């Protein structure tokens, strides 16, 4: 079976037009036609139904099922290509969201140095949502991820290694700074918020507590930089919703715990693809992460 035939079929299943598929691969239309015929001969079952009078086609029932298998095969081959590239570099593409990188990862550095693993890491620093996407696409091999619940993706292996609650960052100039014992989220009505953008799991947690408190908070600015977020809070531009892991991000802000009974937790997990074979320094890294 020719891998190119699978690629041609998969694209044809999406575009349903022989000439467009031929153009996208820079080949002739008969090349695509012959590829489909070879696949149909291999399996002894038609994959497409041609309506020559309307210049249209559609997949057969088996064709639709076959396309699911082809998509999985092409995805795994793409992963294998990326894994081979990283194997030659003798490093691990390691996903590390900024908050976890700044406030949890340092606790692991000593033992990683002791096991000569720190220099093996090629750090990919993005928010947890983006790191998760890159992990699934093969651009990251092992990661520490933040989430609002234990991770249970079918193609991933994940293990929770720490949790922390969320709270509110405020300026000492804000009257809320006096409520150091805690505050209910509903009592934040009328406050202006600065927040992290959609690449961070915080965004989902913020919406979750807002709905539970029946509030529609006004967010006046979003950023991908947690230090910018803290600086804006220090200037009393707004208050921020943040995990307690980063409670000491800036000496000029005050962290206030949330008192709500039903509120999300920030889960930190070590994560890898289920298909990843752990040997040597990769196995050692996985074990040292907790």
Q: Could you give the CA distance from residue 270 to residue 89 in angstroms, rounded to a whole number?
A: 22
Q: What is the pLDDT of residue 216?
A: 93
Q: Which residues, at least 6 apart from 119, have a Cβ–Cβ distance to it below 8 Å?
A: none
Q: Could you give the CA distance from residue 73 to residue 281 in angstroms, rounded to a whole number?
A: 28
How large is the average pLDDT for residues 18-37?
90
pLDDT tens per residue, range 72-123: 888 888 878 877 777 766 789 999 999 999 999 999 999 999 999 999 999 9
Placement of tokens 């044809």 in the chain: 12
DSSP the chain: --HHHHHHHHHHHHH--HHHHHHHHTS-HHHHHHHHHHHHHHHTS--EEEEGGGTEEEE-HHHHHHHHHHHHHHHHHHHHHHHHHHHHHT-EEEE--HHHHHHTTHHHHHHHHHTT-GGGEEEE---HHHHHHHHHHTS-SEEEEEESS----TTEEEEEEEEEEEEEEE-TTSGGGG-TT-B-GGGGTT-EEEEE-TTSHHHHHHHHHHHHTT---EEEEEES-HHHHHHHHHTTS-BEEEEGGGTTS-TTSEEEEB--SS--EEEEEEEEETT----HHHHHHHHHT-
Predicted confidence (pLDDT) at residue 268 exceeds the cutoff of 90: yes
pTM greater than 0.75: no
Q: What is the pLDDT of residue 53?
A: 54
Percent of the chain residues topping a pLDDT of 90: 68
Predicted confidence (pLDDT) at residue 236 exceeds the cutoff of 70: yes
Q: What is the pLDDT of residue 55?
A: 60
Tokens of 25: 């691969």
pLDDT tens per residue, range 207-223: 999 999 999 999 999 99
pLDDT tens per residue, range 134-154: 999 888 999 999 999 999 998
For residue 195, name the pLDDT band (cuts at 50, 70, 90): very high
For residue 10, name the pLDDT band (cuts at 50, 70, 90): very high
Q: What is the pLDDT of residue 275?
A: 84
Q: What is the pLDDT of residue 88?
A: 67
pLDDT tens per residue, range 29-88: 999 999 999 999 999 999 998 776 546 788 999 999 999 889 888 888 887 887 777 776
Q: What is the pLDDT of residue 97?
A: 93
């Amino acid at each position: 079976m020719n891998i190119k035939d699978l690629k041609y079929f998969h694209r044809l299943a999406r575009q349903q037009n022989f000439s467009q598929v031929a153009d996208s691969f820079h080949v002739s239309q008969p090349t695509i036609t012959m590829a489909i015929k070879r696949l149909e001969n291999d399996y002894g079952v038609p994959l497409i139904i041609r309506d020559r009078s309307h210049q249209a086609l559609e997949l057969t029932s088996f064709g639709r099922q076959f396309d699911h298998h082809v998509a999985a095969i092409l995805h795994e081959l793409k992963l294998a290509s990326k894994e081979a590239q990283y194997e030659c570099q003798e490093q691990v593409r390691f996903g590390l969201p900024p908050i976890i990188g700044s406030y949890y990862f340092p606790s692991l550095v000593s033992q990683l140095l002791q096991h000569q693993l720190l220099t093996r890491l090629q750090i990919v620093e993005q928010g947890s949502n983006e790191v998760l996407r890159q992990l699934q696409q093969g651009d990251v091999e092992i990661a520490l991820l933040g989430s609002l619940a234990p991770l249970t993706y079918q193609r991933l292996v994940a293990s929770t290694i720490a949790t922390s609650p969320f709270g509110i960052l405020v300026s000492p100039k804000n009257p809320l700074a006096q409520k150091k014992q805690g505050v209910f989220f509903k009592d934040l009505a009328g406050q202006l918020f600065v927040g992290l953008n959609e690449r961070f799991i915080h965004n989902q947690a913020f919406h979750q507590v807002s709905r539970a408190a029946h509030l529609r908070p006004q967010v006046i600015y979003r950023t991908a930089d947690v230090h910018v977020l803290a600086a804006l809070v220090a200037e009393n531009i707004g208050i921020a919703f943040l995990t307690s892991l980063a409670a000491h991000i800036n000496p000029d802000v005050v962290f206030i715990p949330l008192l709500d009974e039903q509120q999300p937790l920030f889960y930190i997990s070590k994560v890898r693809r289920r298909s990843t074979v752990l040997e040597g320094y990769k196995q050692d890294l996985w074990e040292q992460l907790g």
